[in-house]
Amino acid sequence: MVEGLSHLLILQDRDLRLLRIERELAAAPQEEAQIAARLKQQLTRYEQLKTNARQLEADRKQLELEASTKQSLLERYRNQQMQTKKNDEYQALTNEIERTGREISEIEDRQLELMERQEAAARELEAEKALVESAEKQAALRRADVQKKIAAFTTDLAGLKQEIAALEAAAAPLLLSRYRRLLASKKDAVIVPITGETSCSGCHMKLTQQTILTARGGHELASCENCGRIVYWPGSIV
């Protein structure tokens, strides 16, 4: 194998671990934002149900007021009817009494319907409250997990950077420079084995016979003609 390539493979392993950690750390704020967004959605629905319940209660009180007003009006009509001596006034009051009675009956029907809606709303609100409490607990646990992950990754990151610096210092400068350019471009493994004796395991494209022979010889660097990665013959790593 080309001198120094085994050393770069070790460096590549640490670099790829570093890239994975950096991606995880970069994704952590987004993960926390998603947790907060889901909890907010749950809380928003709960608040909507509470608002709906308050509105139903306000509607119930309004109907009670309307019923009370109509009942007072009905009593007044009846008292007036008992006092009148005129047939036309008596009939007019009879009509008003019947109309007001129908209105009271309609209000009572609406009250019964509203009571059923209130009972259903109360059940839904109670169920949603349980869901919110569960969501809050789950969100707290997930936030704690994210923070633990961040702490662990941050610790690993410091150690990896030190190890990478030491590996770079011991690497062949020209080989390291080429490796660094490739890694900056690919953001993935750039020193890869040949698979199936014919293909680059990085891009999975077939290699030329000359590239395969060069890799097998182990005296010169062999590169994939398609993606530019450094390829080596499997089993040649010491």
Residue by residue, pLDDT tens for the chain (238 residues) are 678 899 999 999 999 999 999 999 999 999 999 999 999 999 999 999 999 999 999 999 999 999 999 999 999 999 999 999 899 999 999 999 999 999 999 999 999 999 999 999 999 999 999 999 999 999 999 999 999 999 999 999 999 999 999 999 999 999 999 999 999 999 999 999 999 999 999 999 999 999 999 999 988 999 999 999 999 998 776 5
Residue 108 belongs to a domain: yes
* pTM (predicted TM-score): 0.66
Does 197 reside within a domain? no
Q: What span, in angstroms and rounded, lies between the C-alpha atoms of 59 and 43?
A: 24
* Residue 232 counted as domain residue: no
Element (H, E) at 85: none
- Residue at 221 is within a domain: no
Q: How far apart are CA 184 and CA 31, in angstroms?
A: 26
166 lies in a domain? yes
Instruction: Please report whether residue 51 resides in a domain.
Output: yes
Residue 46 located in a structural domain: yes
Residue 198 lies inside a defined structural domain of this protein: no
Chain centre distance of CA 89: 71
Alpha-carbon span 131 to 49, nearest angstrom: 13
Please give the DSSP secondary-structure letter assigned to residue 206: B
Nearest to 209 by CA among 217, 32, 76, 201: 217
CATH number for position 102: 1.10.287.1490
Are 207 and 198 spatial neighbours (Cβ–Cβ below 8 Å)? yes
Q: Domain count of the chain? A: 1
Question: Whole domain around residue 137: which residue ranges?
Answer: 18-170
